[in-house]
Amino acid sequence: MAADELARLAALLADRSRAQFCLSLMDGRAWTAGELAEVARVSPATASEHLTRLVAGGLLGERRQGRHRYLQLAGPRVADLLEHLLGYVGPTTPGRSLKASTASTALARGRTCYDHLAGRLGVAITDAMAGRNLLDADLLVTDEGIGWLADHLHADFSTTRRPIGKACLDWTERRSHLAGAAGAHICAHLHAQGWVRKVGTGRAVKVTPAGERALEDLLGISGL
């Protein structure tokens, strides 16, 4: 029954360590079980037990390479779910350390949400594309948008099975940003061109000077 499945899903995230594992994996990378244990501050044995539950529950996927066990989110749908849940949680409570506040500010400015861009950067790109009729009101990519992405960002969606464009609720901006195959391609292209770069080891990204010029030329975006 639907109620049973919903309760099962809620139970998977109703543990701080399991929730931390999922949030850490929202950067789209595969992490080792040891790395996840360290970030959640639990023992390797405890981490292994929690990770096994998350894999069995369909939230995480795993692969083994040598003696290492690598974990990552099971797919973009899981990232979308987590981003939506964060939107319901709301801003974290005050009184955090300076380091935590700085990290939170960096995430709000720009970050990866699994394989696409979020935060003010992701929303600014989405708004600019919508303003040029590259996206419709539901953030589906228009025919004009398909052509623009092909011409300017060398995108080819002819073989993708994913939705080309879809809305993903941004938990810091409380608005939607672009996800789907188009969102993933934009994120990958900006990284490949050196227009954005990672900040530290988490999900935060920063627009480079070259990226500022490119985004203003392509979409009229400035002041990020």
d(CA 71, CA 49): 13
Angle between helices 2-13 and 16-24 (to 10 degrees): 80
* pLDDT per position as a tens digit, 160-182: 989 999 998 888 888 889 999 99
pLDDT for 68 equals 79
* pLDDT per position as a tens digit, 54-110: 999 999 999 887 777 889 999 888 888 888 788 777 555 444 443 444 556 878 889
Q: Would you list the domain boundaries of the chain?
A: 2-74, 78-219
Instruction: Please state whether the predicted TM-score (pTM) of the whole model is above 0.95.
Output: no
pLDDT for 97 equals 44
CATH code of domain 2-74: 1.10.10.10
Looking at residue 223, what DSSP letter applies?
Answer: -
Ramachandran angles phi, psi of 63, nearest 5°? -150, 150
Which of 76-90, 118-132, 134-148, 174-188 shows the lowest per-residue confidence on average (mean pLDDT)? Answer: 76-90
Torsion angle in degrees (nearest 10) through CA of 186, 152, 126, 222: 110
d(CA 164, CA 172): 24
Which amino acid, one-letter code, is at 150?
Answer: A
Residue 201 has pLDDT above 80, yes or no: no
| Residue 59 half-sphere exposure toward CB, CA atoms < 13 A | 25
